[in-house]
Amino acid sequence: MPKSYKRGYAVAVLLGMDIDHAVLWDIFSQVAKQQQIIPLSGGRSDAKATYSFHESIVNALRPTLREGVRSVIIASPSRTSYAQEFLNHVKAHHTWLVSGANKAAFSTMVGSASTPQQVAALTKTTAFKELISQTTAEETEGLLEILEKKLNAADNLVLFSLQEAESIVLYPQGEEKPKPEYLMLTDEFLSKSRQKNRLQRLMQVAANKGVKTRVISAESAAGLRIAQLGGIVCLAKRE
């Protein structure tokens, strides 16, 4: 069975900030997976080194953000300002990350997230679970805005079933055929489906092809809207 089945679906990104490095983690519904360690080449008092460090973190985040995961939790040890310093950098130099329909949802918390042991302990805390819920809820507000906009756009094709989504994602399309952009489904649709293998394959192939793929809480505003549409929605752009 593919590893993606065991790890579950992507939920958020956890960024562990420390005095001389940062660690990026992919948070899935079942596990956390270390993605990258980013060193700080210089001291915290070196403005140029800190700027370069923060830019390296933004660049490391880009691939995951392009995949559609836009909830970012930033953790740093108590009595430090590392998380807020990075967030200030983002607000000052990367407004595309904090404004508009495609913005990311950032939250900060106290905690260490440099090692697997630290992350395992952190993700079990009530504070982390509550922050994940709050941050992903903020993210889905943006997804709902995108969904409603594309539902009403003449140049978009909206598909409402697993079979229709498979037809456009799994099979090669001609140059003039619609290109899938988003695949959204609720966690309830996924958990209750009797065709989980097909769904997992669809999600994996979609992600591999650059389709922004998100499993959304059925209790969120976007989740409620997607549930009204059948629980799964694939948005495609007509060329």
How confident is the model over 112-159, as pLDDT tens digits? 999 999 999 999 999 999 999 888 888 888 888 888 888 888 778 889
Q: How is the chain split into domains, by residue range?
A: 3-139, 153-237
Tell me the percentage of the chain whose pLDDT exceeds 90. Answer: 64
Taking only the tens place, the pLDDT of each residue in 178-220 is 889 999 999 999 999 999 999 999 999 998 888 999 999 898 8
Q: What is the mean pLDDT of residues 46-52?
A: 96
Place of tokens 């959204």: 184
pLDDT-derived band at 6 (thresholds 50, 70, 90) equals: low
**Considering the domain 3-139, what is its CATH architecture?**
2-Layer Sandwich (3.30)
What's the pLDDT score for residue 141?
Answer: 82
What's the pLDDT score for residue 172?
Answer: 63
Instruction: Enter the DSSP assignment of 188.
Output: H
What's the pLDDT score for residue 229?
Answer: 92
Return phi, psi of residue 15, to 5°.
-115, 110
Q: What is the mean pLDDT of residues 62-73?
A: 90
Distances (CA, A) of 161 to 27, 32, 110, 234: 27, 30, 41, 8
Strands (E), 59-211: 71-76, 105-110, 156-159, 179-186
**Do the domains 3-139 and 153-237 sit in the same CATH topology, yes or no?**
no
Please state which CATH number belongs to domain 153-237: 3.30.1330.30
Whether residue 87 is predicted with pLDDT greater than 80 in this model: the reply is: yes
Average pLDDT value for the chain: 90
Higher pLDDT pick, 98 / 15: 15
Residues whose CB falls within 8 Å of the CB of residue 49, separated by 6 or more in sequence, listed in order: 40, 41, 42, 43
